[in-house]
Amino acid sequence: MNQVVANPPEKVNLLDFDRRGLRDFFTQIGEKPYRAEQVMKWIYHDLEDNFENMTDVGKALRAKLTEVCYIGAPKTLLNKVATDGTHKWLLGMDSGNAIETVYIPEPTRGTLCVSSQIGCALNCGFCSTGAQGFNRNLSTAEIIGQVWVAAKQLGNVTHQNRRITNVVMMGMGEPLANFDNVVRAMHLMRDDLGFGLASKRVTLSTAGMVPLIDQLSAQIDVSLAVSLHAANDELRTELMPINKRYPIADLLAACDRWIARKPRTSITFEYTLMKGVNDQPEHARQLIKLMRKLPTCKVNLIPFNPFPGTQYQRSDANDIHDFQTRLLNAGVLTMLRRTRGDDIDAACGQLAGQVTDRTRRSADIRKRQDEGALHAS
Ligand code: SAH
């Protein structure tokens, strides 16, 4: 007779729940929901992952929790520190994949740049994550786990005096393409019993998934950044294929609706400056014209960060200066993002991790690069 042995039920990772989910889970296992809040505080304020150390949780409950669930952040494969103090973590996922998380210390704040996907499906030609292809979305635990791991490793400061003051969803992936998990993780970043960051200090950056921008503003209060990179459709489509689906006019209309819903907020437009591609006076004029329609918004100029195999180059310092001056003279709020951590490839667009590409795009790109090298020789 065949004997069927039931598998023990899979343990649940508590990092996958926001506060509401955690309360529901505690109810399901026959506990009072306020216990969930006690445990949440241990997880996010004390960065505790061992139930046995949660001293105000009764012994019986601690034993029960150990049996049915766990607190599982991603594994650190590597923690590199750049000469300017920037940290880059390589965090292991399943099947040999890995993602990257970056911490950027500045005198008055510390910003953590968090990934939302293993790779990215959007294929923006100037981004090294895009060149890696796409594997899968990260779970809520894998997203909030990046903040947890970084907070723990940056160490020795109290919750009130924390080193991570800002989180930007600007790492690997398109966060809006992993909507539910990203929103749940951002609720944990904002929650007082989570990391307790104000809405201004949690920013989601999108390549412009228009319908999801509207959904986002309806579901959570965070700040928005939009990757623009070109102020005319022809060039933007060349740089960012998503522009075919959601052209500039549609994107700006979504930005108008965002501001109408959140009148006191501003949107940051990211514009990566690539030599001879989008950094000329005519491009500045086009951008100024576009920004006139969004007078409360800002432009963040990013000098292009090179990566192996790219066809693009960083703009010359003179052109960067000229571009910024034109915008400033026209009254556009413009910042130039300093390149941080480039001795450890931790700058914008350089995050590559280790991605088992399911789209075959990286193979195609490598093939084109090899052919290009052949033609060039
Ligand atoms: N997918 C989202 C989140 C990525 S954020 C988005 O597109 O907004 C990372 C930012 O760095 C984006 O503005 C992206 O366009 C920009 N970027 C990508 N590659 C870059 C590179 N090589 N140099 C400088 N900036 C780059």
Lookup: tokens for 354: 């280790």
Is 2 a member of any domain? no
Catalytic one among 69, 113, 255, 348? 348
**Domain boundary residue, one of 22, 44, 70:** 70
Q: Tell me, what's the pLDDT at 340?
A: 77
Q: Tell me, what's the pLDDT at 181?
A: 98
Is 371 a member of any domain? no
Report whether residue 299 contacts ligand 1, using a CB cutoff of 6 Å. Answer: no
Atom of ligand 1 nearest to the CA of 307: 22
Query: Which residues are within 8 A (CB) of 106 and not within 5 positions of it... i.e. 6 or more apart?
Result: none
**Are residue 161 and residue 260 in the same domain, yes or no?**
yes
From CA 278, how far away is CA 287, in angstroms rounded? 10
Q: Tell me, what's the pLDDT at 87?
A: 94
How many domains would you assign to the chain? 2
Does the active-site annotation cover 142?
A: no
Residue whose CA is at the smallest distance from ligand 1 atom 3: 170
Task: Record the pTM.
Answer: 0.93
Domain of 64? 12-70
Does the active-site annotation cover 255?
A: no
**Domain boundary residue, one of 70, 85, 108:** 70
From CA 364, how far away is CA 29, in angstroms rounded? 49
Is 251 a member of any domain? yes
**Domain boundary residue, one of 52, 70, 88:** 70
Q: Tell me, what's the pLDDT at 3?
A: 44
**Are residue 26 and residue 85 in the same domain, yes or no?**
no
Centre of ligand 1 to C-alpha 349, Å, is 5
Report whether residue 302 contacts ligand 1, using a CB cutoff of 6 Å. Answer: yes
Strands 98-105 and 110-113: antiparallel
From CA 190, how far away is CA 167, in angstroms rounded? 10
**Are residue 83 and residue 115 in the same domain, yes or no?**
yes
Atom of ligand 1 nearest to the CA of 120: 1
Q: Tell me, what's the pLDDT at 376?
A: 43
Q: Tell me, what's the pLDDT at 343?
A: 77
Residue whose CA is at the smallest distance from ligand 1 atom 24: 304
Tell me the average confidence (pLDDT) per consecutive run of 10 residues in the chain, 377 residues long: 54 97 98 97 97 96 97 96 92 92 93 96 93 94 98 78 91 97 98 96 98 97 98 98 98 97 92 98 98 95 92 97 98 90 74 79 67 49
